[in-house]
A and B are shown apart, each in its own frame.
Chain A
Amino acid sequence: MYGRSAAIVGAAHSRLGEVPGSTAIGLMADAAVAAVADAGLTPADVDGIVVRGPDDEYAFQQQLGERLGLDAAFSTSLDNGGASQTLAVILASLAIEAGLATTVLCGYARNSWTRTRQTGSRRARMNQATHNRRREWRDSFGYFGEPATHALGAQRHMATYGTTKEHLGHVAVQVREHATRNPHAQMQTPLTMAEYLDARPVTSPFGVFDCSLRTDGAGAVVVTSLDRARDLPHNPVVVRGFGSQNNLRGWTVDDNMVRTAAQRSGERAYRIADVTAADIDTAQLYDCFTYMVLAQVEDYGFCPKGEGGEFIAGGALRLDGAIPTNTSGGQLSEGHVEGMLQVVEAVRQLRHEYPLDRQVPDARLALVSGHGGNTVCHTSLVLERA
C-alpha cells in the first residue's frame, strides 16, 4: 500500500487564454520554470519529468528536458487524455516512494488558440490527431468533436433520472461565479441562467456555455518526498491517496456514460486515502462539459446517483456550498488545460493562499479528477494540507 510519502511543493501555470504565437512546449517551459521556483528548488533538484502535450507531439518529456537542460532518472509522456495530468502526479508519487526519483516535474501544455489560427478548421486539426478507428466508425455520420460524446451521456442521464437543461445550467453559472474572482480566468463576467439558456446550441442538450474553453496554456506541479517538503517554503500538500478506473471497452458500453469511471476511481482513491466523500472540503473536477461535473458529483458520492441536478441547483458548487467545486472557474470559465489547472488550484486552496472571497475556509482535503482518453480513462487524487 502506498505510504503517503509524496507531497506537492510547487505549482504554477503559464499565461492562459489566447497567447499569440505560443507553442505548447514554450508554454510548458514557462509553467515548469515557475513551478520549480515556487517550490524553492533549482533545476539541479529535478530528476523526474512526467508530462503531456498535444496528442500529435511525440515524446513531449524529451522536448521539455532538452529545453530546460535536464536529464532525468524517471521520465515519460502520458497517453490517457485528460486523465493523464492527475496520473502524472500518481506516477511521480510512486516513483518517489520507490526511490526511482526524488523530485518530479508534472505538467501539461497546449496551444489550442494559436493552432486554430494557424491551421484553420477544427476538422483539419481533428483529422491529424484522429484515430483511424474513429474515422471509420464516427466521421461518416457527421460525428465530430467531443461535445457530442458527452452530450450523449447527458441525454441518457436526462432520460434516466429526469435531469434537466437548467440543472446543467446551474453548473455553468456557479463555476462562472468562481471565475469572476480569478484574475487569470478567460471568462470573468457573470453568467445568468437566461444567458445560458439562450446560448447558441452546439449538440443537444449542449449550448456553447456547456462547453469548456479554447486555451493556450500550461500548468505544472513539483512533487517530492514529504521529508524534503518540510524544508521548503510552502506548506506541503501531501498526496494522500489516488485511484483510477479505465472503462476501456468504451463509453457506449454498459451504462458507462451515465455511471462513469469516476465512481470506481473514486472508491479506490477514498480507500487508499482512508477518507470518505464527506471528508472532502473542495473538489476540482475535470469539467470538459457541464455534464461531467454533474455526473462526477454523483459518482464521487457527494450526492446519490441521479440526484446531481437538484444537488447542484441547491448551490452545492459555490464557495459556501455542500462541496465547493472548480473554485478557479475550471475549464468552463478559467481555461482548458486538460485538468492540470485543477491540480494547481487544489494546491493553492490547500495552502490557504487566496483572499477570503476565493478561499475555501479551512480547506484540508481536496479531491482532484482527470477524465479523458476517448472519455473512458479516469484518475483521482486526494490531496491533504500537511
Chain B
Amino acid sequence: MSAPTTGTTGTTTGPHDGAGRTAPTPRRVVPAPTTESQPFWDGCARGELLMQRCGACGRWWFPPSNRCQHCWSDEVGWHRLSGRAEVYSFTVFHRAYAAELAAQLPYVVAVVTVEEGPRLITNVVGCDPDDVHVGMAVQVAFEPLAEGVSLHVFRPLTAAPPTPSA
C-alpha cells in the first residue's frame, strides 16, 4: 500500500516551464471558460449564481449549452438563481490527487440540487466534513480564485429565511 501524498505545509510547485523555472501552483485549478460558459463565470465573479432557462419551455439545465436540453429550442436565457440548494450526495476526500490539495484534506465534494432543479458539482465548506449529510440545506458562496474569477461553493444554510412555496 502506498503512503498518502505528503507535503501538507509549505509552498507547492508546479511543473517546470520550458525555461526550466517552476511556477507556484494555485490552491485550486482555475477554470477556463468557453464562449458558452463565460456568462456563468462572469456571474460568479459578481457573486451571482446563474443558469440557463429555456425561453420556449421554461425549463432549466446545467452545464451551459447553446440549446435547451429538454425541447431543443435555441431561446436560451441566463437567469439568477436563489442560491439555495440541497445536498443530493457527497464524498469526503481523504486522499490528495495533486500535491496542492494535500493541505486541504479532508474536503467535501458534493452534488447539490439547486432550488430551480438542476444538479451541480461543488464543495461544501464552512462546516466540519462529518456534519455534511444527504438532504442538508445549503446556500451558495463565492471563493475568489484569481483576478476576476470566483468559484461557486456552498455553505450550510443558516438563519434560513422562510421559503415561500412557489
Q: Would you call B159 an interface residue if the criterion is a C-beta within 8 Å of the partner chain's C-beta atoms?
A: no
- A204's partner among B31, B92, B123 (CB-CB below 8 A) is B92
Q: How far is the CA of A155 from the CA of B93 in the complex (A)?
A: 13
Q: Would you call A128 an interface residue if the criterion is a C-beta within 8 Å of the partner chain's C-beta atoms?
A: no
Which one, A132-140, A320-328, A342-350, is touching chain B? A132-140
Interface residue SS majority, chain A: helix
- Determine the interface band of chain B, counting residues with CB < 8 A from chain A: 35 or more
Nearest CB in chain B to that of A139: its residue: B29
- Tell me which residues across on chain A come within 8 A of B93, comparing CB atoms: 142, 148, 203
- Tell me which residues across on chain A come within 8 A of B4, comparing CB atoms: 200
Q: How far is the CB of B36 from chain A (nearest CB, A)?
A: 10
Q: A141 and B111: CB pair below 8 A?
A: no
Nearest CB in chain A to that of B3: its residue: A200
- Tell me which residues across on chain A come within 8 A of B92, comparing CB atoms: 201, 203-204
Q: Would you call A232 an interface residue if the criterion is a C-beta within 8 Å of the partner chain's C-beta atoms?
A: no
Q: How far is the CB of B26 from chain A (nearest CB, A)?
A: 10
Q: Would you call A145 an interface residue if the criterion is a C-beta within 8 Å of the partner chain's C-beta atoms?
A: yes
Known: A151-B91, A155-B134, A159-B89. A140 touches B98 (CB 8 A): no
Q: Would you call B137 an interface residue if the criterion is a C-beta within 8 Å of the partner chain's C-beta atoms?
A: no
Q: Would you call A152 an interface residue if the criterion is a C-beta within 8 Å of the partner chain's C-beta atoms?
A: yes
Q: A204 and B33: CB pair below 8 A?
A: no
Known: A148-B93, A156-B88, A208-B1. A137 touches B121 (CB 8 A): yes
Q: Would you call B28 an interface residue if the criterion is a C-beta within 8 Å of the partner chain's C-beta atoms?
A: yes
Nearest CB in chain B to that of A209: its residue: B1
Known: A137-B121, A143-B109. A203 touches B95 (CB 8 A): yes
- A152's partner among B32, B90, B120, B145 (CB-CB below 8 A) is B90
Q: B107 and A142: CB pair below 8 A?
A: yes
Q: How far is the CA of A132 from the CA of B31 in the complex (A)?
A: 10
- B31's partner among A140, A147, A153, A155 (CB-CB below 8 A) is A140
- Determine the interface band of chain A, counting residues with CB < 8 A from chain B: 35 or more
- Tell me which residues across on chain A come within 8 A of B94, comparing CB atoms: 200-204
Q: Would you call B11 an interface residue if the criterion is a C-beta within 8 Å of the partner chain's C-beta atoms?
A: no
Q: Would you call A189 an interface residue if the criterion is a C-beta within 8 Å of the partner chain's C-beta atoms?
A: no
Known: A136-B34, A253-B119. A203 touches B91 (CB 8 A): yes
Sample (29) of A-B pairs whose CB atoms are under 8 Å apart = A122-B97, A123-B97, A132-B32, A133-B63, A136-B31, A137-B31, A137-B63, A141-B109, A141-B122, A141-B123, A142-B93, A142-B107, A143-B109, A144-B101, A147-B91, A147-B95, A152-B90, A153-B89, A155-B90, A156-B134, A159-B134, A200-B4, A201-B92, A201-B95, A203-B93, A203-B95, A249-B69, A252-B111, A252-B120
A residues sitting closer than 8 Å to B (CB atoms) are 121-124, 126, 132-133, 135-145, 147-148, 151-153, 155-156, 159, 200-206, 208, 249, 252-253, 257
B residues sitting closer than 8 Å to A (CB atoms) are 1, 4, 15, 28-34, 37, 63, 69, 88-95, 97-99, 101, 104, 107, 109, 111, 119-123, 133-135, 145, 151, 153
Q: Which 8 residue pairs across A and B have the least CB separation, nearest first?
A: A159-B134, A144-B97, A151-B91, A201-B94, A156-B89, A139-B29, A204-B92, A123-B98
